[in-house]
Structure 1
Amino acid sequence: MKTSSFPLQRFGRYLIGSIAILMFACSSSHTNQTSLNNVPFAFAVDKATSLKKGIVMLSGEVGTTSSLFLEADLSNDESYANKFYKENILVRIDGNAKGFEWLSQILDNKKTPIVLYFDKHLKLGGITEGPQTNTAILAAIDSVNAGHQFIRLTDNLLPGNNNVATQLSYVQQLLNIQKTWEARGVIDKWEQDTNYESSLLQSISKHSYFYNNYLMAKMFAARRDTVNMVRYANTALSFIDAHSVDLFAALRMEMKLLARPERNIDNAPYLAVGSTSVDLGTVKSGSYTKTSIIFNNTGAEALNISTITTGCSCTIAGFSKAPIPPGKTAKVDITYHATTPGTFSRAVIVYSNAINAKLEIMIKGVAI
């Protein structure tokens, strides 16, 4: 079910609230109000458990204003914040932030915002899509705490399965797998972990797609089981629809290496950049600002940039498709058109045949 969009006047509240919200690492300035930004799922679970609270998890996207309305309202409406934080912590995961794509990958969905509601026992009880009113969010929290289950999404999480309990169980299972993966750390421990393998097999039996096959291949790689590693890596790579190719771009290159174990990973091309953030500083509203990004191929094989996408038509990237030899550099020219005054942050995403096949650069600044 789709929800209606927010009125434009709420952007003022968003701009005020989001400046402080984006700086959060672990907690808000108010006592007993915990807001976590881009943390591992295992950390979020431990924090909620220690506070004996539920979790409201927001699958957001850097630079997407609609994903920040929830935080902006919590920052500006004390009464709403008190009700929200009384029994919950807020966890925001930016799906296009490097290293934190896991929630979008588990949901097999890049749409934002998507909100997941967990009760005090950290059981997933509901999922909604699109901006929600404050009243709707509090009602959803009450519903989950009362033991009710719901899914309000445009598309089913499990193709062909409309059962709410089954879909929620499937997502919960993948989240538990994610938590286990994060908590392990030491590769050698995977050798005896049959529960992890069993959970993944159940997930694949319900809905086989890139990510759960990817995790299975990674597990067998840790166990040094080459036969099964190659099998699941090839299964993961068999999903070649546009959605899978885009959402899992960086992971696909990793799977290509596992599918060809004879290839030396140390020789593969690697796209190195001095910084993944470019600050244009203060620019004049309506002006065009040019900058360049220098890439270096630190691998031992030629690197090819296939395409570069930008967050909007206001950002243009120019580059050459000529191969970048090992040890050599290439330049990407960026032109930003400051169409409106205010703070801006735009993503420039570089796709290549490198190990880090999807590299994101953020262009930011202030237009006056």
Structure 2
Amino acid sequence: MVKEKVIVAMSGGVDSSVAALILHRQGFDVVGLTMRLWSHPNEEATQNNKRCCSVEDVDDARRVCNKIGIPHYFMNFEEQFQEHVVDYFVKEYDRGRTPHPCLACNDKMKFDFLLQRAMFLDAKYIATGHYARIRRSETSVKLLKGLDGHKDQSYVLFTLGQLELSKLMLPVGEFQKSEIRQMAREAGLPVADKPDSQEICFIPDGDYRKFISERVPPKPGLMVDVNNNVLGDHPGIQYFTIGQRRKLGLKGHNPEPMFVTKISSDDNRVILGSEADLYTKEFWASRVNFINGILPDRSLKVMAKIRYKAQPSPAIIEEVDGFLHIEFDEPQRAITPGQAVVFYIDDEIVGGGIIETESPVVSVV
């Protein structure tokens, strides 16, 4: 019997390593593939800050494959990553928005370019180390939250459709993170106790403001309150995000704490308000995707999540001319343009979109 081939996207971390281990033990013809996405000018800084995409990570992935007994390939995707992830990230901040680069990376790099390469290698499936689950039936494929609620990564997978899900395997989503670590130790994998990568993988020191300003010169402008009274100057809208309180650069004493409540790229203004001004119930979403491929023809009651670490809250969503209008039961704090809103019914991810707070304007990528 011919074994079905699976290409596992291996970052050099413990999750993707154990994904390859599980599939190998299940009898699949497993091939590890590491994608070179970004070259760090300072590899030492990368290692000290525990970011991905370093030479060390590639070596770790290769050593894991050798230990498991599977082939390992290395492919360079830096040009595609620059265009679809880094350039997108910089452009969004320059527009006064707060993007989530992992969404673009998953959508384009792992589930577009990697899937194409996998088909070229005659693989039936691709697999990743994401903490989410897949359920297949004769008529559809569903995406579910990972069993480990603290590690669930379904939020960053909402852009997937039926084609991608039909080709995808997520073996670690069926386990707790502690179980994954234990499997790695018992198998003697060299990454069993390797720390997880954090923050933005292509910004080793975590200073995204510096990273952006080196690529797009900031344009100074005005800071105003919600009544359009001038409060001071700002160095550039890319230095701010909704809900921000620190590093506002205000001179003098303000009797009440001030927060960024809106960023206007049209007139290059940063609007400040009170904590109460951060709360709202309604907004729009663009670049909408429903995993079953069908936009709802009526309003739908869901649990909606407006950022990766947020708790889902009850909301009603309704499609309007290809966009979505979302209304929460209770006001939510700091709904941020450029972030994703993702919809759940029980443990199933039904879809999501990119937040547009004022009107359904499609985000330019």
- Scaled by the length of structure 1, the TM-score of the pair is 0.28
Greater relative CO (CA pairs within 8 A, separation 6+): 2
- Scaled by the length of structure 2, the TM-score of the pair is 0.28
More strand as a share of residues: 2
More helix as a share of residues: 1
